[in-house]
Every structure is written in C-alpha cells, then in structure tokens.
Amino acid sequence: MNKTEVHQNGDASEGTVFTLSIFTENKIGLLNRITIIFTRRHLNIESITASESEIKDVHRYTIVCKTTREQIEKVVKQIEKLVEVLKAFVHEDRDVVHQEIALYKLKTSSLNSENNIEKIVRDNHARILSVARDYIVIEKTGHKHETQVLFKKLEPFGVLEFARSGRVAITKPMKELSIYLKELEEAHQG
C-alpha cells in the first residue's frame, strides 16, 4: 500500500500530529459541519474538545489529527470558509502546551496495603479523586502516553472504567486572539 492509499483509507500512521485551534461563534450544528470536513478527506480525528475562549461569545475547538502538512492546510482552508468560524490555526506539538486528563475507576478492595496502589498513584503524579464503598477514582493529568503508562500499571488491579479527555492546548506564540480578530475585522473593512 502506498502513502496515497494509506491516507485514503484513513490510516494516518505516516504523518505528523497537528493541533488545530478553531475559534468560532457558538452555533448549533457547527461542530458537525467541521467534522464532516475531516470525514470527506478520510482523516481521523484523534481527539476533540470544545470550550469557551478568553473572549466573550467566542468558542474554541481543539482538534488533534495525524496527517501531512499539505492535508491539514487544506482542511484549515475549508474550515475557515464556514461563516461562523472566526479563525483556525494549525500547530505542531512543539508550538503548543497541552495536557489531557484521565480517570480510572477501580474496586475499593484494590486499596489494600499489599497492592500499594497509593504508591503507584504518587509515583505517577496522580491523585485519588474519590473513595466510595465499592470503588475509587484516580485522576491523572498529563500527555496521552503518561496517562496510558498509569493505565498499564493499574490494569492488573482490575480497572472497572477508564476515560481520557481530548487534548486541551494553548499556543506558545504570544499573539493574542483579540489581535487576530481585530486584524480580520480591519481586512474585511478595507
């Protein structure tokens, strides 16, 4: 299978990880229209988060995708054509500070001193978030590989549930979104 066939089949093992920061109005159905752009190009979204931004009434989608620079640039151009999208940026990992959060649910009985769960939690810079009669919940913040390492260490104790959030990221460059929006407004007026 050549690289073209790989991308057409949605396997992006031959590519770079990109983080897209997409700033939008908060409109119903917009997330669906954005994800359709990825689907049409046979690109898999690794993770996606949505939240408010630092500017009132402006929302932010953070999307992680593994592909080529050429493909992701085409995706960004298409996304920016959507009326409700104010601006979309594409970044490589070196350009962002990012984290994910993971939650692990185990039986409370796994807390016995023989298992040393508490030492595993401490050694992995995690914390016990909740202790109930039947289960405990452990929280770990970090990069995907770090949360996966903790999962592997807890797996022998019987992980009842595991959930990991999408990437939350902020950019290292110091140009603020408000400056981009002002430049965009001036360009439309001129």
Q: What's the CATH architecture for 97-164? A: 2-Layer Sandwich (3.30)
Specify the pLDDT at position 184: 63
Which CATH superfamily, name and number, covers 3-95?
ACT domain (3.30.70.260)
Q: Which residues of the chain have pLDDT under 50?
A: 1-12
CA distance 60 to 137: 29
CA distance 117 to 165: 23
**Per-residue model confidence as pLDDT tens digits over 4-50:** 333 344 444 578 999 999 999 999 999 999 999 999 999 999 999 99
Token pair for 127: 């914390």
DSSP secondary structure of 79-136? HHTSTTEEEEEEEEGGGEEEEEEEEEEEEGGGGSTTT-HHHHHHHTT-EEEEE-SSEE
The pLDDT score that the predictor gives to residue 81 is 95
- Domain extent listing, the chain: 3-95, 97-164
**Do 3-95 and 97-164 share a fold?**
yes
How far is C-alpha 168 from the chain's CA centre?
A: 5
4 neighbors 68 (Cβ within 8 angstroms): no
Q: What is the pLDDT of residue 188?
A: 64
Q: Which two tokens stand for residue 71?
A: 């493909």
